[in-house]
Structure 1
């Protein structure tokens, strides 16, 4: 093998390792939702991560453990998150994971069964050799027909 070929193989191996690590983090967050474990959900996030999730206000800084646990406790069943069409882009110490997430479960209140798809983007930053979430953005599209209804009926 030439030196260039060895370099390309090394870069490819590193990218594969990075993708495996990032997918494992995403999987761990999904498992933590199922287990209703706020600490495990927050673990991969940077303390100052910009979080644009579905809950008000418009932005959060990091993961508020008490707030997250209160939300988890509002479910009578495990919370299931299913990813679909996920893609990862890596450039140096930055990576982006994006795809669709299906959230299912049953709330304790009048909402009852919940089952909808949303869009999710996670931006990762490698710090001290470990991938951490620096930014999260989740959204549900809405109908622009004047009703402003969330489009919970859409599926990928």
Structure 2
């Protein structure tokens, strides 16, 4: 995959998630990726560790799909390294395409330029949590 603009990796990410294509999604990641995901594990160290999470996520969907959209995408690019961050919405869709639910996260990606194009070497997702309750807010204010 060759992409001059590293932010274009977000479109490939959304397409792979919608298709529930584990291999296409993992192809976006460097073999030595470190992922600080919001859910369950403290970190995923390496693409193989991340594969287990992705396979479990996609298997849990049954016949549903996930539509991923990005807002306020920003990037900083050097010849060999790029940082891309955005607000992301994950919307669960029924087999018929009806929106069932949605949640928002903040997503930061660090990309490294490889011979095949940009690859994600670090991913960090987050959402704000209340100081008083510790409850995570998965709805972005409008």
CA gap 1:129/1:41 in 2 versus in 1, 3 angstroms: closer
Counting only pairs closer than 5 Å after superposition, residues 1-156 of structure 1 correspond to structure 2 as 18-19=4-5, 22-63=6-47, 64-75=50-61, 76-105=63-92, 113-128=100-115, 130-144=117-131, 146-155=132-141
- Structure 2: tracts of 5 or more residues without a match: 95-99
- TM-score where L is the length of structure 2: 0.83
Aligned length: 132
- Structure 1: tracts of 5 or more residues without a match: 1-16, 108-112
Counterpart residue number, 1:8: none
Q: Which has the higher contact order (CA 8 A, sep 6+)?
A: 2
Per-residue CA distance 1:73-111 (angstroms, 9 max, x = gap): 21241111100000111012000010100111059xxxx
Q: Pick the structure with greater CA Rg.
A: 1
The runs of at least 4 aligned residues of structure 1 exceeding 6 Å deviation read none
**Greater share of residues in helix:** 1
- TM-score where L is the length of structure 1: 0.76
The alpha-carbon deviation at position 50 of structure 1 amounts to 0.8
**Greater share of residues in strand:** 2
